[in-house]
Structure 1
Amino acid sequence: MLRIHDLECCSRPPLTGPKRLTYNFQDVAFAPYGHYWKEMRKICVAELFSMKRVQSFQSVRQEEVDLLIKSVSGSATLANPIDLSKCSFSLTASIIFRIVFGKQFQGIELDNDKLQKLVFEAEAMLGSFCASDFLPYVGKVIDWFTGFHTRLESSFHELDSFFQQVIEDHLDSGPTKDDEEDIVDVLLRMEKDQTQNDAIQLTKDHIKAILMDIFIAGIDTPAINMIWAVAELARKPTAMKKAQNEIRSCVGKKGKLTENDVSKLTYLNMVIKETLRLHPPVNVWAIGRDPDIWDNPEEFIPERFIENPIDLKGQHFELLPFSGGRRICPRINMGMTVLELALANLLYFFDWKLPIGMREIDIDMEEKVSLTVGKKTSLMLIPIKYNM
């Protein structure tokens, strides 16, 4: 399917919501397959999401994870439950803001409630049913009654205004040193340096469309994955303890966990694979729960990946949390690096307890379906500071 027949199913339908929010499909995620998509994806893979570019933001990720640990430590002294869903969203939002929009966001308190509402509303518009996509004439009347187009225009103008302000701020501040470039700097530099012979002539709308892709998927997806992982571990304390023992043994007396340590954490890697098998961020749910492929497919068993060559990079049809083939997510490296570092630190620095009177079986695992599949209710756990 992903090798022989990939070409037949790798395009995208021209739906109303994505068309508006991506400036008439000038992004990568929703653009139809063709010359434009191929050239734009090349730009993104080579310039924005390469491993070299991802590694250049290592200090940003480490600083923001350290701030998260400091914040949770303050709550741990009170032994009260904390909203891990809100914490994970705040972390990924802060990282994406600094990586994409630059240093001017460092240390700035973000209005996370407003930001979360903006992201969720945009996701809803990208994934919602639009009657006029299926009933060209009658559908417009239906959409008028439901208020779909009003919501869509409101979401678009709010995002467009934000992206425009970011671009203007970067233009006003002048050029940036190569080693200090954020993603907006890279895109503006490419627009400035392009020639008439380039395959694509970048405009500000192209830049905004790419920013929309990163802004929506980059913030929400790693946060969702992190919450599902902690929720599954909280329901299975033996697996959580095993992951914590591995991490704490690896770190030893250093007292600090870095990205260099993460590659050594075999069991944590299995935990992440198992989480993404059960809770893929996109609609490939049935593949990960196929009883013909997986033993006890409904159970969380990280050990099933011991000496199992299946990876997350789209090469194995049994596990496709980020899709595969030509349309595989180009931001895998960026998202996975954030997920691994944050999850490892949360498990290293804290033991996690359920609120008083709550049992493992009481954790609500109901899904909230939107453009991505997140946990419907917030994950509330009590952090207990680990004594090193």
Structure 2
Amino acid sequence: MTTTTLGLPHPGVLAGAPPIGLDSVAAARITGIGTAVPPTSYSQREVLDIFGIEDQRIRSVFLNSAIDRRYLTLPPEGPDGTRIMEVQGELLAKHKAQGIDMGVRAVQECLKNAGRDLDDIGYLCCVTSTGFLTPGLSALIIKELGIDPGCSRLDVVGMGCNAGLNALNAVAGWARAHPGKLAVMVCDESCSAAYVFDGTMRTSVVNSLFGDGAAAIAVVAGDDTVPGPRLLKFASHIITDALDAMRYDWDPAQDRFSFYLDPQVPYVVGANAETVIGRLLAGTGLRRTDIGHWLVHSGGKKVIDSVMVNLGLTRHDVRHTTGVLRDYGNLSSGSFLFSYQRLLDEGVANPGEYCVLMTMGPGSTIETALVRW
């Protein structure tokens, strides 16, 4: 008996056919969002004046960053009015205190937005790269809020600015394995607890960029009656030749941890953006032109421009990304969720429309997710 194999095109590219695997009711949905920041914010010029920075090269980095204001918790003032440089232990205490405060407020706002209660939380995932604690922020927030101590939890620590999507992949997986149960993820970054002031250009670039903030989202799977976009697919790409381009490691000269950004990072990330987007859309029947909304990590002006050019995006496509950078700076792992909140507030995402979430960070790594309203 002879078997004939027909060379039919993949069903996902047939005209009028639904994208492959994108209509599952079991897909996890984002059903709520909440954000929180510290009570104090500063313009770039105010930060320069507070620390008495006169070096014109450094001032130029701050004032040409496309950032207007950032929420920060600056070091305390000494008797002479100058800022006291905190030691590593004090920075860690700041990370803990501020992380609990912002994380709690973000979770509370998220639950209110989702119409859910603390008792509904079955899984809590906390993401941070601005300090190391044991027990982690998940346990501390559970205690602070009085969440059921039987709540499952996960701490994603030290992955960097891309970590929000790494964690969201895990959260979506838990939600799919527990249909109808509520999972909450909070990206909780106290970047004020990760600064080094040594007057060098290396640290000045970092000091000009990052701000403090937390963002929480609620995720539920297996319930098609709840509102919110479906999380359809995730894709990653590690640029192994650039492992040292972004790193947070010990600086013995300053006796504390210090973050390093290679000047070539924007161009390396941009050059690899097409690769990971191709991987994300592969098998879905979708092209880049089918994506109605783009929420890219607010990594910095050059990073955003590089991604925009390499993916053929417009200024309108990245309006929320640039708006968050302008008003908050780089919020590390939670930046894309601040952009997501702005897209929701805008009210322009319609049923059936697709959105790409993209984050970038140490590795060097690009993480993506495809969602649909």
* TM-score class, shorter: under 0.3
Query: What's the TM-score once normalised by structure 2's chain length?
Result: 0.27
Query: What's the TM-score once normalised by structure 1's chain length?
Result: 0.27
